[in-house]
Amino acid sequence: MNSYEAVIGLEVHVQLNTAAKIFCSCSAEFGAEANSHVCPVCMGFPGTLPVLNGAAVDKAVQVGLALGCEIQKFSIFDRKSYFYPDLPKAYQITQMFYPICLGGSLNIDTKSGSRRINLTRIHMEEDAGKLIHGEGESAAYSYVDFNRASVPLVEIVSEPDIRSAEEARLYLQKLRTILRYINVSDCNMEEGSLRCDANISIRPVGEAELGTKVEIKNMNSFRNVQHAIEYEIARQTEILSEGGHIRQQTRLWDNDRGITLAMRSKENAHDYRYFPDPDLFPLKLTDEKIERLKKTIPELPDSRKARFMQEYSLSAQDADLLVSEKDYADFYEDALKIYSSPKNIANWIMSELLRVVNQKGLSIFNAGVAPADIAQLVKLIESGAISGKQGKEVFAEAVETGKTPEAIVSEKGLSQLSDKGELYGIVQKVVKANPSEAERFKSGEEKLLGFFVGLVIKESRGKANPKLVNEILKETLK
């Protein structure tokens, strides 16, 4: 069963987050009332003319620049004809022969090291409407919502460089991270602003020729992508192992049943009768425009990760987590500007803050504490003003109330007892009250130190600085 290798290429559709649709001025916003963002152009009325949205072009170029593509200064929009109720013009405007970007690549970090996945091309196109199938009494009907019709998309096509279901998931996650860094899409798979189709074939290990490929659709989460591809590799392996043949077809992932199902035999390109759209000029880009857009690309996750590891001595794992969202990395560096404690600030963000962010489903900048608050909190702990345990209380209170850590510490009288004289007094009292334990400690029963530390902290009502208590106890019980 292990003598086959998988050859996988992904086609990823990404909705660009422009205010307007790609060929008309209707809003491209997600989630509005059905058919409230429509006009004669995106409804495909006869006699209307598309006008290309420059903002969509800028974002497509930014995608290409962030992925290292060759931006094409000349590209053409084509019509792809097919009949389906979600497509009002009965053709989709896309780019077949001269796409806006060629080449490019992205790196994924696998267990066995970094791997480069090459891209074939990126082209621009318009989205189709959305079919909604009736249930219950309306089960005989299907409805169409044209709000999505003509929302701008880029389709990012990879080379068949991916070798496993896990690599496919890593590729998608990396792509999502990069696209979110450059703010061209929210890349929400559940809402459909990032959609993925996979072309999968298998071949005997060592064979150069490609096997018959099957296209898988309808995988709407990163986990489903991995499961669907795992399933499909196993299905094809079983067929070939038993001497059968793979049929070229499109299959749908059925998430409830955890299997792929045959949908249709794969169309060939000529079924779509592609030809240049006579209503749209060829798209020409100047060097100046490409240069201007290049300047808008921020530091991307790979280089930011390398810099975090070098500049702040973070582990690869910590750096990975902090650069996985641009907001996390920005928040982190904002906090460091106020108080430079790279390791501790990273720990507070990764353990406490991201837990709140994930629980509440908020962005890190809206979770209730600002970068300055985390900086202040870490400073309070490092200076010994409060204990780490008190820090957690202060953090929870800050998230809840929006007050600054300093304000909470002074309001609650939380400051840690670090006065050596006062601590010395408490230690004396505790040792005097427990003479037999003190004797046992002195004769070598060192584990009793914890017993005394606990009593001293209790006596101080939790305020004693444990580090100082330890020192003073060792001194006293010598």
Alpha helix segments (H runs only) across 339-370: 342-348, 354-360
Nearer to Zn ion, 39 or 407 (CB): 39
Output the CA–CA distances (angstroms, integers) from residue 375 to 332, 339, 351, 384, in the order listed: 9, 5, 15, 14
State which residue, 41 or 469, has the beta carbon closest to Zn ion.
Answer: 41
Residue with tokens 């990823």: 12
Provide the minimum distance between the beta carbon of 142 and Zn ion in the complex, in angstroms, as a whole number: 22
Beta bridge partners of 173: none
Stretch that binds Zn ion, among 38-46, 283-291, 413-421, 457-465 (CB under 5 A): 38-46
H-helix or E-strand spanning residue 173: helix 165-181
Name residues contacting Zn ion, limited to 6-25 (CB under 5 A).
24
From candidates 8, 12, 20, 26, binder to Zn ion by CB under 5 A? 26
Among 6, 7, 12, 42, which residue sits at the site for Zn ion (rule: CB under 5 A)?
42
Q: Which is nearer to Zn ion, 23 or 171 (CB)?
A: 23
**# residues near Zn ion by CB under 5 A:** 5
Of the candidates 289, 288, 282, 276, the one whose C-alpha atom is nearest the C-alpha of residue 75 is 282
Q: How far is the CB of 48 from Zn ion (least distance, A)?
A: 9
Nearer to Zn ion, 148 or 227 (CB): 148
Q: How far is the CB of 29 from Zn ion (least distance, A)?
A: 12
- Per CB under 5 A, the segment of 8-16, 40-48, 209-217, 293-301 that binds Zn ion is 40-48
Of 405, 64, 456, 6, give the one whose Cα is nearest residue 226.
Answer: 6
Integer Cα distance of 379 and 317 in angstroms: 24
Question: CB-wise, 32 or 261, nearer to Zn ion?
Answer: 32
The DSSP line for 401-450 is: H---HHHHHHHTT---B--HHHHHHHHHHHHHH-HHHHHHHHTT-GGGHH
Identity of the residue, 42 or 106, whose beta carbon is nearer to Zn ion in the bound complex: 42
If one asks whether residue 39 binds Zn ion (CB under 5 A), the answer comes out as: yes
Kindly tell me which of 27 and 105 has the beta carbon lying closer to Zn ion.
Answer: 27
Chain centroid to CA 25: how far?
30
Query: Nearer Cβ to Zn ion, position 127 or 161?
Result: 127
Q: What is the nearest approach in angstroms of Zn ion to the Cβ of residue 359? A: 39
Tell me whether residue 435 is exposed, middle or buried, using C-beta atoms within 10 angstroms of its C-beta: 0 to 12, 13 to 18, 19 or more: exposed
Q: How far is the CB of 338 from Zn ion (least distance, A)?
A: 47
Q: What is the dihedral of CA 438, 439, 445, 450, to 10 degrees?
A: 0
The nearer residue to Zn ion, 15 or 390, going by C-beta atoms, is 15
Which residues, 6+ apart, have CB-to-CB distance to 389 below 8 Å? none
**Spatial separation of the C-alpha atoms in residues 405 and 393, rounded to whole Å:** 10
Q: Strand 214-219 to strand 194-204: parallel, antiparallel, or no bridges (unpaired)?
A: antiparallel
Minimum Å gap between C-beta 337 and Zn ion is 44
* Contacting Zn ion within 317-336 (CB under 5 A): none
CB of 60 to Zn ion, least distance (A): 19
| CB closer to Zn ion out of 49 and 262 | 49
232 backbone φψ class: left, alpha, beta (φ>0; ψ -120 to 50): alpha
Task: Select 87 or 375, whichever has its Cβ closest to Zn ion.
Answer: 87
* 28 near Zn ion, rule: CB under 5 A: no
Cβ at position 305, least distance to Zn ion in Å? 41
CB 93, min distance to Zn ion, A: 13
- CB of 14 or CB of 41, closer to Zn ion: 41
Q: Which stretch binds Zn ion (CB under 5 A): 34-42, 379-387, 422-430, 455-463?
A: 34-42
- Give least dist CB 49 to Zn ion, A: 12
Nearer to Zn ion by Cβ, of 126 and 161: the residue is: 126
- The C-alpha atoms of residue 53 and residue 431 are separated, in whole angstroms, by 79
Q: What is the DSSP string of 42-84?
A: TTT-TT------HHHHHHHHHHHHHTT-EE-SEE--EEEE---
What do you get for the CA distance between the two ends of the chain, in Å? 68
The reply on whether position 219 binds Zn ion by CB under 5 A is no
The upper half-sphere exposure of residue 240, i.e. CA atoms within 13 Å in the direction of its Cβ, equals 22
Distances (CA, A) of 133 to 44, 84, 195, 230, 376: 22, 14, 20, 29, 54
Stretch that binds Zn ion, among 9-17, 33-41, 412-420, 446-454 (CB under 5 A): 33-41
**Smallest gap, in angstroms, from Cβ of residue 43 to Zn ion?**
7
- Identify the CA nearest to 116 among candidates 74, 71, 161: 161
Half-sphere exposure of 223 (CA within 13 A, CB side): 3
Task: Supply the minimum distance, in Å, between the C-beta of residue 38 and Zn ion.
Answer: 6
CB of 126 to Zn ion, least distance (A): 10
Binding segment (CB under 5 A) for Zn ion, from list 32-40, 77-85, 160-168, 391-399: 32-40
Residues that bind Zn ion in the complex, under the rule CB under 5 A? 24, 26, 39, 41-42
